[in-house]
Every structure is written in structure tokens, then in C-alpha cells.
Chains A and B, each alone.
Chain A
């Protein structure tokens, strides 16, 4: 790799914004998410600032040898540069979706990258779940709409659990382990304030009001998660979170068939993987104890999860350090 040591050592936070802007306007920035690398080019100054705010701990790499996704976030020429300005998402010469307002390039980038990951990385089984790791084992939080998956994933990531992804449980059927697809956590509406109160020291990007899902803000992955993003995690446990206002914390074991459905039928590419997908989910269901967690209090929810984790690690043999 043609990167000199001094450069490869710097994080995005340590780079002056104009330098980042120049890199984005030139060959681009290579962002290694763990299980995939995205190269992004952009002529948007807003994008440089927004990217820097939530990818702050990622290395500043302006010359990579490989990228799995090549993305351009660019302002269109012509009328749309000046009248109700927009930014476009482009990949390999194609524009798979409609532009966003010019002041929201980060949500466009995040949304677009997730779309590319979900469609392209079919070498992995992509479960729709938050994923965190502790003592070498992965905890999966499968998403059901309104489940509070992102909130709980975010909370765990701020309390000693290593974030793998808030969106993708990326399981490698060959190695039998989960891989990180580390990106900022997208928080919506009231969960933004919940997390600000829960982790005042955490790093947030700008708030984007008036998206279709309401207000969105991104939470930067902690330093440790970035440094360790190449480390895999063996399957540990599955917890289906369900946020219910004012509910006492309830924690109940789940039957295998329920867990199978929760994992397989929410996945991005379960049926596409055919027999490989079926075998992989079956393996996860057999290997992972699973619970449903109904909660309204985050601290209590976290304490509950911590309390079962020794059982999970024992079940899987000695903790891996």
C-alpha cells in the first residue's frame, strides 16, 4: 500500500478540514469498515465537515489499494446547484436513487452505503440486527420496527461493548463468525435526546430534521471499536429488544423457532443465500441462547444483559481475550 507512515497514523479528527476536502475532491477517501471498504469522493464542503464529525476516529487514508464500494457524493451541475440545491449519490457510473437536499450529504452517504452493502455483500449472511461484542462473543439485537434496536445498540457501545454495526449482523458462513461493518449509528427522533442524556461524552454529528423518518443524528463509533474493527466475534447470544413506554424490564427466553424467524425473515439476503443461508441461521439458533427484552429504562436493560453474559460466555467455553 502506497501510504506513508505519517499519513496512515492520523485519524480524520486530526486532519484539517481543507485537507480532507482536497482528498475528497481528488482520488477520494478510503474508509475501511472492517468487512468492507468504501472509497468516497465528493465536492461538497458540507459533506467533508459532516463526515469528519462522525468518522472522526477512522484513519485518514487517501490512497487505498482496494475498495468494495466506490461512491461519489456530488453537487449536480446546472440549475440544481443554485435553486433548491441538491447532492447526488453515484456509484460506478450509476445513480441508484434520487438526490437529497444539498445540506444533507451525510444521511445520503449513510443511506446509500447501507443500500450497497445490503445488495452486494452476498458473500456474507446479512442479518438485520444491531451487533456488539464482548469477550470475543457477539450479541445480536435483531430489528423489528420500533424495537429500539439502534438505541440499545448505541447504549451498549457506550458501556464497554464493542460496536460491530447498528444495522448489519454480518455473519461469515465460511468462518462461522461475525464481522464488523462499522459505521456511525443512525439515531432517530427522541432516541437522539435519550442518548445525549445517557452518554453526554459521546460524539454526535449534526441533526437532520425533516427526513422521512423525522429527525436523524449520527453517533460516532468509539475509538476502540474503530481500532478493533478487523476482529471477528463468535456467535454469542440473541436478544430481541422491545421498547415499551413505562414498562418494567421483562426478560424471557425464546423458543428456537421464534429466534429462527426473527433472524432469517428480517435478513437482507437470507433467501438469496439459499442453503448456505438456512444452514447459517440454523447454526446460530442452535448455538445462541435467545431472549426477549422488554424495557423502558436503558440502565436496567443494560444491567439485565450484563447479568446473563457470564452464562453466555460459560456456555461458549473460556472467554477469549
Chain B
């Protein structure tokens, strides 16, 4: 897909390089700072930038008008990160003597491994995974510990328990985060069916004793699957930055890169891996060896699929400038990708009734919101 390594990223994404090389930010004029503060906040990368600048001891050299926003967002991030650690400690005691592995996913896993790219995240939920046969036991333990499952109507409850890879999100009256309990990383009825046993056979310890994390290659694949197969692509540069961070961090270990295509094939995640590599290399300059890229490309989507999928993803992922309205091209691309996403997630006979139900739910919720906020 991308044969050339070290391409310059599109110029409107140049600021993203400062996530890795904070000193680049020192040359930004005030107008660029204003743009970056607005964009980065919307893309959930402002605190990440702040943590990079703080670690490089450069905060004092940032124009005060911009610095206050960096500090503000950094505080928000540190508060949320502290909430993650606090919540995980509480949840760990609830699952303490469970005879099955308890796994941190996504952001929680990055924090749980102390990855440098975890600094500056804004977690609002917590994703954990247990083997499918133990989900009800884990859920019962959590409920005993005060976690509550949101009330669901018949359709939604069927959706979660039969078609989904997680149980309905849980909340706790004393803990600020939402908890998502998974038994897989993609829905079991999706076209790409991931065998969770393969994931569970290669777990690694995290910094926190009871918790484990996925194999590093699987973490990359999960992140890629989440971005390219599991939801809406607009304003998701943060997920690409995560992938770039994971690839750079784990990439220094010998054998890691060549393991990626192997794991992708074992898990059936060749397409998301190929897409992740394409955008990381082209937009972030992620160093991936040429032979690995070649293998990834050969197992990824064919020429025809690339021809329509890459431009669509490119349109959808490219952030709109803060003063602009999203171009029609992006709206259409996002819609086309949404159709693709739903088609991949569910067979049509389930999808149509599901979307009909969602549409009605959105309408009802919209009316309630309007009533709630309609005041001065």
C-alpha cells in the first residue's frame, strides 16, 4: 500500500510531529498555537501534547496564552488517569480470587504497562476482558461490589447478550468511570470473527499484579481493529497516534514487527493491520521495516478494495480545520464507512431491525435532551 517510507505527512498534520518531538512546537507562531490548541483539544490530543512538553521541560517556553490551555487539559487528564488507577484497584479487589485471567484493554492497558504514550489520555471508561465462560461470574462479582448495569429494553439486552462482544456498560455510584466488560475484541457475529482463545493464550503481566494485558502485537491489532472495523472514523486521529505510539514503543523489541502479520493472520485481522500501517507510515512516519510492510500489504485488502477504501478513510480521518465546516466529501465518506462498519458488524437480517430500533431511540433521546437544556 505504501511502498515509500519516510514520506512527509500532509502539511496540515505537521503539528502532530510535536507529539513525539515537543521541541518542534517552540517554532510555532501564536496563530499556529491557537489552531493547534483548538484542533488538539477536539481530537483529544491536547493533554498528550502538554505531557510531552512537560517531560521535555519546555512548558515555560510556550506562549502563556497557549500554555494555560495545556495546563488546564493536563490537569483534566491527570485527574481522569488517577480515577482509572483508583477504579482499577477497587475492581481488582472484587475479582481478586477469580480463577480466570482478567485483562486490561486499550487505554487501561497502556496505563497499566506505563507506556510513555499513555501520558495525557482522557479516559472516560474502562475496558476489561475475561474469558466468555466467566463473564457472568465476573459480572456477578462486580454487581456485588456495587457496579450497576444500566436498565435495558428487550432489544438492547438481546443485542448485548447475543450479538455483542461485551456486556452492557456498568456504572458505580462512587466511581467516576464507566466499566465495559468484554469477552472478545470484536462482536462474535461480525464478519471478522476473532478467536478469543488465541488472545488469551499469549497474555502478559501488567504493572498491577492481578491484571494482565494482551500480547504487544495483539494490542496493536486490537487498536487497529477498533479504529478501522469497530466504529466511526471521523476525528479519530488520536487512535492513529496510539497506533504510532504502540508501534514505536514495541517496535524496538527484536522480532516484534515480523510477528505482526503472523498474529494478524492467526486472528483474521489482516485488513485493519494493513490500514493501520498505511496511515501510520504516511501520516506519522512510523518506522516499519520495508519487508514487513510488504508482507502486511500482501495479506491486506486487494487492489480493488484499496482503491475505494483508502480515499474514503483518508477523507474521514483527516481532521477538519477548526474554523471550517466538514466538507461534503467527508460527510459522504463518513456515511459510506458507517454503512461498511454496520455491514461488517452484523448480518443484514439483524442489522435492519437494529438500526430501526437505534433510530427510534435517538429520536426519543433527542427530545428529552432538548427539554433538559432549553433554558438560559
A residues neighboring B (CB under 8 Å): 65-68, 70, 92-94, 97-98, 100, 104, 107, 110-111, 120-123, 186, 188, 208, 211-213, 216, 271-274, 276
Given contacts A66-B34, A121-B72, A272-B76, contact A107 B41 (CB under 8 A): no
A274–B78 CB distance below 8 A: yes
Name the contact of B375 in the complex, choosing from A65, A70, A111, A271 (C-beta under 8 A): A111
Name the contact of B320 in the complex, choosing from A93, A110, A271, A273 (C-beta under 8 A): A93
B42–A93 CB distance below 8 A: yes
Q: Which residues of chain B from 323 to 373 have any CB-CB distance to chain A below 8 Å in the complex?
A: 323-326, 366, 369-370, 372-373
Q: A35: nearest residue on chain B (CB-CB)?
A: B68
Alpha-carbon distance between A274 and B322 when the two chains are bound, in angstroms: 31
Q: Does B226 sit at the interface, judged by CB under 8 A?
A: no
A70–B82 CB distance below 8 A: no
CB distance from A170 to the nearest CB of B (A): 12
A93–B326 CB distance below 8 A: yes
Given contacts A92-B41, A93-B42, A93-B322, contact A213 B376 (CB under 8 A): yes
Q: Which residues of chain B from 140 to 195 have any CB-CB distance to chain A below 8 Å in the complex?
A: none
Alpha-carbon distance between A309 and B184 when the two chains are bound, in angstroms: 65
Chain A CB count within 10 A is highest, among B79, B370, B373, B374, for: B374
Q: B321: nearest residue on chain A (CB-CB)?
A: A93
Q: Does B306 sit at the interface, judged by CB under 8 A?
A: no
Q: Chain B 55-74, CB within 8 Å of chain A: the 1/0 string? A: 00000000001001101110
CB distance from A65 to the nearest CB of B (A): 6
Alpha-carbon distance between A210 and B78 when the two chains are bound, in angstroms: 41
A212–B374 CB distance below 8 A: yes
Residues of B within 8 A of A65 (CB): 30-31
Q: Does B236 sit at the interface, judged by CB under 8 A?
A: no
Q: Chain B 283-296, CB within 8 Å of chain A: the 1/0 string? A: 00000000000000
Q: Which residues of chain B from 8 to 48 have any CB-CB distance to chain A below 8 Å in the complex?
A: 30-31, 34, 38-39, 41-42
B376–A110 CB distance below 8 A: yes
CB distance from B307 to the nearest CB of A (A): 29
> 5 additional contacts, CB 8 Å, given A97-B373, A272-B79?
A92-B322, A122-B72, A211-B374, A211-B376, A212-B373
B75–A274 CB distance below 8 A: yes
Alpha-carbon distance between A1 and B320 when the two chains are bound, in angstroms: 27
Residues of A within 8 A of B68 (CB): 68, 121, 123
Q: B366: nearest residue on chain A (CB-CB)?
A: A98
Q: From DSSP, what is the main secondary structure of chain A's interface residues?
A: loop
B76–A213 CB distance below 8 A: no
A123–B323 CB distance below 8 A: no
Residues of B within 8 A of A212 (CB): 372-376
Q: A115: nearest residue on chain B (CB-CB)?
A: B373
B30–A122 CB distance below 8 A: no
Q: A65: nearest residue on chain B (CB-CB)?
A: B30
Alpha-carbon distance between A189 and B77 when the two chains are bound, in angstroms: 39
Ordered by A's residue number, 5 sampled pairs between the chains whose C-beta atoms are within 8 Å are: A67-B34, A93-B326, A107-B375, A211-B376, A212-B374
How many chain B residues touch A (Cβ–Cβ < 8 Å)? Answer: 32
Alpha-carbon distance between A164 and B228 when the two chains are bound, in angstroms: 49
Residues of A within 8 A of B372 (CB): 212
A70–B374 CB distance below 8 A: no
Alpha-carbon distance between A70 and B37 when the two chains are bound, in angstroms: 11
B82–A211 CB distance below 8 A: no
Q: A100: nearest residue on chain B (CB-CB)?
A: B374
CB distance from A253 to the nearest CB of B (A): 34
Residues of B within 8 A of A93 (CB): 42, 320, 322, 324-326
Chain B CB count within 10 A is highest, among A104, A120, A276, for: A120
Given contacts A68-B69, A211-B376, A271-B79, contact A98 B38 (CB under 8 A): no
B376–A111 CB distance below 8 A: yes
Chain A CB count within 10 A is highest, among B65, B69, B79, B376, for: B376
B322–A70 CB distance below 8 A: yes
A122–B76 CB distance below 8 A: yes
Alpha-carbon distance between A92 and B73 when the two chains are bound, in angstroms: 16
Residues of A within 8 A of B72 (CB): 120-123
Given contacts A122-B73, A274-B78, contact A213 B34 (CB under 8 A): no
CB distance from B316 to the nearest CB of A (A): 14
A94–B42 CB distance below 8 A: yes
CB distance from A178 to the nearest CB of B (A): 16
A98–B69 CB distance below 8 A: no
Alpha-carbon distance between A212 and B76 when the two chains are bound, in angstroms: 30
B42–A98 CB distance below 8 A: no
CB distance from B123 to the nearest CB of A (A): 14
Residues of A within 8 A of B65 (CB): 66, 68
CB distance from A185 to the nearest CB of B (A): 12
Residues of B within 8 A of A92 (CB): 38-39, 41-42, 322
Alpha-carbon distance between A35 and B128 when the two chains are bound, in angstroms: 41
Alpha-carbon distance between A121 and B65 when the two chains are bound, in angstroms: 12
CB distance from A104 to the nearest CB of B (A): 7
Residues of B within 8 A of A104 (CB): 376
Q: A64: nearest residue on chain B (CB-CB)?
A: B34
A98–B370 CB distance below 8 A: yes
Q: Chain B 77-90, CB within 8 Å of chain A: the 1/0 string? A: 01100100000000
Residues of A within 8 A of B376 (CB): 104, 107, 110-111, 186, 188, 208, 211-213, 216
Alpha-carbon distance between A68 and B256 when the two chains are bound, in angstroms: 43
Residues of B within 8 A of A120 (CB): 69, 72
CB distance from B30 to the nearest CB of A (A): 6
Residues of A within 8 A of B369 (CB): 97-98
Alpha-carbon distance between A211 and B376 when the two chains are bound, in angstroms: 6
Residues of A within 8 A of B76 (CB): 122, 272
Given contacts A93-B322, A98-B370, contact A123 B38 (CB under 8 A): no
Alpha-carbon distance between A65 and B32 when the two chains are bound, in angstroms: 11
Q: Which 6 A-B pairs have the closest CB atoms?
A: A212-B375, A107-B376, A122-B72, A216-B376, A211-B375, A123-B68
